[in-house]
Amino acid sequence: MYQPSFDLAQNIKEQYSTPVAVISKPMLEEKVKAMKTAFKKNTKIFYAIKANNNPHIVNVLKNAGIDGIDTVSINEVKLAKKIGFTSDQIIYTGSSCSDSEMTDVHNEGVMLNIGSTSELARFGKIFPNTKVSIRFNPQVGDGETAAVITAGDSTKFGIKASKLDEVKQIVAEHNLIIAGIHCHIGSGFYTTEQFEKAVIRILDQAKDFANLEFIDFGGGFGVQYKKEQTPIDLNDFAASIEKHIAEFNAHNQKEIEVRLEPGKYLVMQACTTLTSVTTIKDEYAIPFVGTDTGMNHIIRPALYGSYHHVENLSKLDGEKQKVNIVGNICESDDFIAEEVEIQTPAEGDLLAVLTTGAYCPTMQSFYNLRAFLPEVLVDEDNSTTLIRKRMNFDEMINQLGFTDF
Ligand SMILES: Cc1ncc(COP(=O)(O)O)c(C=O)c1O
């Protein structure tokens, strides 16, 4: 987990003010390297850009060796292209897709990964004789909370195996070419068990498709949120599926391209949000520590009950106290961390909220008319580059699309 030193954090505060997101470039590079090293055999890494779409961050990942981008909207497709990825380096995994979005994505030359028979039939009608990928629901899911499990008995994602005959019928009717099959079981798993089960099921389904060019097993690799937590061993994940892929290849007498779509694994731990303590409210048994960030920047605790480790950088060796760390948003759920022990905070202290690199930046809002977090990229020598500026009032209002007033 990236945690800048007090001196560096203080310099960043002086230069860019708080709240501010600080991203370690070397850690981004390290995560790509770890993925590429563990999954050597014919595996391509398609970064799930929904996790963090700052083009400067994606560029670091690109230069470090990711092979492509997993997108979920037409605008993510356009952004991936603008960053420099070619159509064949982008896959689009939409859900509840309209005909017009499917058309726009297809017209960008990007392959669609389709997760319902309705969308497959509609796509086939508009674009017969076309290559597509199919997202199956392997009916095993895993993830750090129920809300982020995306496969299982009842889910909007993916096509159930019981629909296989219907899939084949649609494919035949419109002469579609199934070039890929895909699954994504959820976000934030720590053991290989469910992942391996899903891989076995998807490989079994893959036998039915003769023109396959790739099999995509999605993302979801868990990250370390707590200092005492043991990080996952990607080699275990690679080892858990290698045998099954080798058997599949032996059966087909050719090596299939394997794809993975990590999002949070590549970016979550590399980012820390620096925030200043503005207000101490001490009339309760567990005091409230008010900060200048909030759920508009870090929504995961309110949305998923997620944990973000917080350090008081101003007093790293200080005594600890149990506190509630809250933001400046007008909502009771505006917690950064609930009932956690941190070095006794005082107004003016500089806090570091760790592991905020994935989904926090992309799920930000202008709620309460507060601006997004500016982002600062930190290089190996601790030099800093502003990669997202703090918007002023006029810039924010312009982003909201209000007609003239
Ligand atoms: C289709 C797909 N692939 C990949 C991911 C990335 O998941 P994670 O960030 O947990 O690696 C997601 C996340 O929602 C997804 O929906």
CATH of the domain at 123: 3.20.20.10
Residues 295 and 381 in one domain: yes
- Which pLDDT belongs to residue 69? 98
- By residue range, what is the domain housing residue 239? 93-262
Report how far ligand 1's centroid is from the alpha carbon of 327 (Å).
27
* Residue 152 confidence class, pLDDT cut points 50, 70, 90: confident
**Which residue is associated with the tokens 């998807």?**
202
Residues 204 and 291 in one domain: no
Residue 24's nearest CA partner among 9, 13, 36, 35 is 9
The rounded distance, in Å, linking the Cα atoms of 285 and 272 is 28
The residue nearest atom 9 of ligand 1, judged by CA position, is 263
Note whether residue 405 is domain-resident: no
* Residue 155 confidence class, pLDDT cut points 50, 70, 90: confident
- pLDDT tens per residue, range 20-44: 999 999 999 999 999 999 998 789 9
pLDDT for residue 168 is more than 80:
yes
Q: Which residues contact 200 (CB under 8 A, 6 or more apart)?
A: 244
Among 91, 187, 190, residue to substitute to test ligand 1 (most atoms within 8 Å of Cβ)? 187
Atom of ligand 1 nearest to the CA of 148: 14
Atom of ligand 1 nearest to the CA of 186: 10
User: The dihedral of CA 188, 323, 347, 301: what is its sign?
Assistant: positive
Domain boundary among 262, 290, 322: 262
Note whether residue 366 is domain-resident: yes
- Active-site positions? 330
Region label for 84, one of left (φ > 0), alpha (ψ between -120 and 50) or beta (otherwise): left
Residue 269's nearest CA partner among 328, 352, 195 is 352
In Å, the largest CA–CA distance within the chain is: 71
Residues 285 and 179 in one domain: no
- Look at the chain and report how many structural domains it folds into: 2
**Average pLDDT of 380-389?**
98
- Which pLDDT belongs to residue 216? 97
Report how far ligand 1's centroid is from the alpha carbon of 207 (Å).
25
Residues 212 and 272 in one domain: no
* Residue 144 confidence class, pLDDT cut points 50, 70, 90: confident
The rounded distance, in Å, linking the Cα atoms of 202 and 159 is 11
Note whether residue 62 is domain-resident: no
Q: Which residues contact 40 (CB under 8 A, 6 or more apart)?
A: 238
Residues 274 and 379 in one domain: yes
- pLDDT tens per residue, range 204-260: 999 889 999 999 999 999 999 998 999 999 999 999 999 999 999 999 998 999 999
Alpha carbons within 13 angstroms on the beta-carbon side of residue 231 total 12
Residue 127 exposed, middle or buried by CB count within 10 Å (0-12, 13-18, 19+): middle
**Average pLDDT of 55-67?**
98
* Residue 99 confidence class, pLDDT cut points 50, 70, 90: very high
- pLDDT tens per residue, range 314-368: 999 999 999 999 999 999 999 999 999 999 999 999 999 999 999 999 999 999 9
* DSSP letter, residue 46: E
Note whether residue 39 is domain-resident: no
Task: Quote the mean pLDDT of the chain.
Answer: 96
- Which pLDDT belongs to residue 138? 87
**Average pLDDT of 42-66?**
97
Pairing mode, strands 68-71 and 90-92:
parallel
- Which pLDDT belongs to residue 146? 85
Question: Which pTM does this prediction carry?
Answer: 0.96
* Residue 270 confidence class, pLDDT cut points 50, 70, 90: very high
The residue nearest atom 5 of ligand 1, judged by CA position, is 219
In degrees rounded to 5, what are phi and psi of residue 353? -100, 115
Domain boundary among 262, 288, 313: 262
Residues 252 and 286 in one domain: no
**Average pLDDT of 370-396?**
97
Other beta carbons within 10 Å of 279: 12
The rounded distance, in Å, linking the Cα atoms of 372 and 391 is 7
Q: What 3-state DSSP class applies to 370?
A: coil
Report how far ligand 1's centroid is from the alpha carbon of 72 (Å).
10
**Structure token digits, residue 396:** 């924010």
The rounded distance, in Å, linking the Cα atoms of 61 and 35 is 11
Residues 225 and 285 in one domain: no
User: DSSP letters of 294-310?
Assistant: -TTT--HHHHH-----E
Note whether residue 66 is domain-resident: no
Cis check: omega of the bond before 19, within 30 degrees of 0 = yes
Note whether residue 28 is domain-resident: no
pLDDT for residue 281 is more than 80:
yes
Answer yes or no: is the C-beta of 216 below 6 A from any ligand 1 atom.
no
**Structure token digits, residue 79:** 């952004």
* Residue 278 confidence class, pLDDT cut points 50, 70, 90: very high
pLDDT for residue 266 is more than 90:
yes
Answer yes or no: is the C-beta of 264 below 6 A from any ligand 1 atom.
yes
Answer yes or no: is the C-beta of 219 below 6 A from any ligand 1 atom.
yes
